[in-house]
């Protein structure tokens, strides 16, 4: 038993107890939104049916669409959703710096979307967790000499603490490994003796471990080894509280995303938590509708006294004697429910619409609902969408994606997979910065595109009064800016040098074409001059034809 291990376990128990109220809230949300994640309180065996509470699946579908929209707006796998820029704006004009940053960005995307990196699937789980619980955690590691490796941490296993600036700098995760997995991770000689014996007898028996990541209090910026790394890592075997591994990280390896955070709280609240009353109401309303529908389709029967009527056959086509009175009145009649289906349906539609709005589903359908809109209308819709989703998604760029990219760059740098940086970039104190080019970033810039289009239209009208107005705007730069705002790939745009060469070539072709068009007139003029010269030379006096002659004295 290690004193360090005891200290780590004590810290984890304190943070875990502080999270208790949130776990109750998340467990309730999971029961209606992500039933397979309903393990915040207690544990379930694999494959257990957890859908028994659900009568309305609106929230489940809304959360899945929310996760898909988050990926499409923030990290679309088919696009380059960020690029690297120099922190010093003047260095961005350097061809060497620009070439280096483009190369690093390509290497980063290639490593991130490597077939074994598992980035796309794990971020999808993170976005699902964000919608249901308002929090997610993505662990970024590496397969040495091979690729990056991503793993979504289940929220039911983790708790964290913040630093003085409100950033997550401490994460504790209690998880289970089988004895086989523990030996695969650390090696048979490195695991405690109890695990080695268990591996020999029952390799699939599960064992509890504690993974702790926290600031390295021995960190020294100019030191080598673990002291030169800002965060320390501990793995503790909870069976005998022995330390299995101790290491360190240069950058924080867990990217934490939070949807909306209340004051003095460490954890976020997601769309499902915000509309949990509506979700539960929708489920109760569906249950009521089912009972109402059953009564309408298969209504209860109203019977006379039990001693008068015997049991009768209710199967289709059955014949029942003695079920009518002498005057032809039935002795058993169905009960007619007075429930109003239309009112019930309207109420359910209102509640479901509120749930979809909370998960931003209707917001993402703005452009889909009217695909035939003009370019200006599309920019206005995109601007509106960007303004509405910016508060929710902007936090993911700063808290979730920013630390993730820094972690990836650090791993690739330590692995020697990045080219050497230009000297001017190394000397710059500002280093590199991240510029997001995702659909979200473009939506936020839609206002600029709207301003450009409106200005161009206004200038076209003013040019009718004063043609010199057209010289006021650089339309080449305006077109380049509009291409970037609308998401045109930068590689499709020509550089300024290439544009100047094409302009010179076009001017030369225009000059040559003008010369070709003028050639017949020049030829006619030359012919006339030649004929005039010939006539002048053939005259005896050298006078031109038709000129008056002077008689000899």
Give residue-wise pLDDT tens across range 205-220: 999 999 999 999 888 8
Task: Give pLDDT, residue 253.
Answer: 96
Task: Give pLDDT, residue 385.
Answer: 66
Cα–Cα distances (Å) from 506 to 378, 471, 473, 474, 499, in that order, read 34, 20, 22, 19, 10
Portion of the chain with pLDDT greater than 90, in percent: 46
Distance spanning both ends of the chain, measured CA to CA: 146
Pair of tokens at residue 377: 């209308």
Average pLDDT of the segment spanning 247-268: 94
CB 453 within 8 A of CB 485: no
Instruction: Decide if pLDDT at 52 tops 60.
Output: yes
> What is the average pLDDT score of the chain?
84
Task: Give pLDDT, residue 13.
Answer: 96
- pLDDT band at 546, cuts 50/70/90? very low
Backbone angles phi, psi at 368, to 5 degrees: -75, -30
Alpha-carbon Rg for the chain, nearest whole angstrom, is 38
Task: Give pLDDT, residue 371.
Answer: 54
7 versus 314: which is more confidently predicted? 7
339 versus 137: which is more confidently predicted? 137
Task: Give pLDDT, residue 330.
Answer: 82
Pair of tokens at residue 350: 């209102």
- pLDDT band at 549, cuts 50/70/90? very low
Phi-psi group of 71: left, alpha or beta (phi > 0 → left; psi -120 to 50 → alpha; rest → beta): alpha
pLDDT in tens, 189-205: 999 999 999 999 999 99
pLDDT in tens, 131-161: 999 999 999 998 877 889 999 999 999 999 9
Task: Give pLDDT, residue 199.
Answer: 94
Task: Kindly state the helix (H) or strand (E) to which residue 303 belongs, with its residue range.
Answer: strand 301-303
Task: Give pLDDT, residue 24.
Answer: 95
* Best CA proximity match to 137, nearest among 72, 64, 213: 213
Instruction: Decide if pLDDT at 282 tops 60.
Output: yes
Task: Give pLDDT, residue 548.
Answer: 43
Task: Give pLDDT, residue 82.
Answer: 92
CB 213 within 8 A of CB 252: yes
Task: Give pLDDT, residue 538.
Answer: 66
Task: Give pLDDT, residue 551.
Answer: 40
Instruction: Decide if pLDDT at 403 tops 80.
Output: yes
Backbone angles phi, psi at 47, to 5 degrees: 85, 5
Backbone angles phi, psi at 229, to 5 degrees: -115, 140
Instruction: Decide if pLDDT at 35 tops 80.
Output: yes
17 versus 460: which is more confidently predicted? 17
**12-21, 93-102, 158-167: segment of lowest average pLDDT:** 93-102
* Best CA proximity match to 91, nearest among 496, 430, 409, 497: 430
Strand order across the 135-143 sheet:
147-152, 135-143, 254-258
Listed in sequence order, the residues at least 6 apart from 415 whose beta carbon sits closer than 8 Å to its beta carbon are 142, 144, 145
Task: Give pLDDT, residue 366.
Answer: 58
pLDDT in tens, 464-504: 888 888 778 877 777 777 776 666 666 677 777 777 888 88
CB 292 within 8 A of CB 285: no
């Amino acid at each position: 038993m290690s004193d360090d291990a005891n200290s780590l376990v004590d810290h984890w128990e304190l943070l875990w107890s502080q999270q208790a109220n949130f776990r109750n809230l998340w467990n309730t949300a999971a029961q209606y939104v992500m039933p397979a994640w309903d393990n915040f309180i207690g544990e379930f065996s694999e494959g257990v049916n957890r859908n028994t509470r659900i009568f309305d699946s609106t929230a489940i579908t809304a959360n899945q669409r929310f996760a898909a929209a988050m990926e499409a707006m923030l990290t679309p796998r088919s696009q380059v959703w960020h690029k690297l820029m120099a922190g010093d704006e003047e260095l961005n004009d350097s061809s060497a710096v620009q070439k280096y940053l483009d190369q690093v960005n390509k290497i980063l995307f290639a490593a991130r979307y490597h077939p074994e990196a598992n980035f796309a699937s794990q971020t999808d789980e993170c976005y699902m967790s964000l919608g249901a619980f308002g929090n997610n955690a993505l662990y970024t590691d590496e397969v040495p000499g091979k690729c990056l490796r991503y793993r979504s941490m289940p929220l039911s296993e983790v708790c964290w603490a913040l630093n003085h600036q409100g950033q997550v700098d401490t994460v504790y995760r209690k998880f289970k490994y089988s004895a086989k997995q523990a030996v695969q991770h650390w090696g048979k000689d490195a695991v405690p003796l109890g695990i080695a014996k268990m591996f020999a007898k029952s390799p699939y028996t599960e064992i509890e471990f504690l993974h702790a990541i926290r600031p390295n209090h021995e960190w020294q910026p100019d030191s080598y080894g673990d002291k030169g790394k800002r965060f320390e890592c501990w793995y503790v075997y909870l069976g005998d509280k022995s330390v299995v591994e101790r290491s360190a990280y240069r950058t924080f390896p867990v990217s934490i995303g939070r949807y909306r955070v209340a004051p003095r709280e460490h954890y976020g609240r997601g769309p499902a938590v915000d509309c949990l009353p509506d979700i539960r109401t929708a489920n109760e309303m569906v249950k009521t509708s089912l009972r109402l529908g059953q009564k309408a389709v298969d209504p209860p029967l109203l019977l006379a006294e039990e001693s008068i009527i015997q049991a009768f056959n209710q199967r289709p086509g059955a014949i029942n004697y003695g079920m009518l009175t002498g005057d032809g009145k039935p002795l058993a009649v169905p009960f007619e429910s007075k429930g109003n289906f239309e009112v019930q349906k309207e109420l359910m539609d209102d509640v479901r619409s509120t749930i979809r709005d909370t998960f931003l589903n209707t917001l993402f359908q703005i452009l889909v609902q009217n695909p035939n809109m003009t370019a200006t209308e599309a920019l206005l819709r995109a601007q509106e969408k960007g303004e509405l989703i910016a508060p929710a998604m902007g936090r993911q760029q700063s808290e979730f994606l920013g630390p993730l990219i820094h972690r990836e760059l650090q791993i690739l740098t330590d692995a020697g997979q990045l080219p050497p940086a230009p000297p001017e970039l190394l000397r710059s104190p500002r280093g590199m910065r991240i510029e997001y080019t995702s659909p979200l970033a473009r939506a936020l810039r839609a206002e600029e595109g709207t301003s450009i289009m409106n200005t161009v239209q206004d200038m076209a009208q003013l040019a009718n009064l004063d043609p010199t107005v057209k010289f006021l705007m650089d339309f080449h730069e305006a077109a380049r800016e509009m291409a970037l705002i609308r998401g045109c790939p930068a590689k499709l745009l020509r550089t300024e040098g290439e544009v100047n060469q094409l302009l010179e070539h076009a001017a030369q072709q225009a000059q040559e074409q003008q010369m070709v068009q003028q050639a017949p007139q020049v030829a006619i003029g030359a012919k006339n001059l030649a004929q005039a010269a010939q006539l002048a030379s053939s005259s005896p006096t050298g006078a031109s034809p038709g000129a008056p002659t002077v008689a000899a004295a």
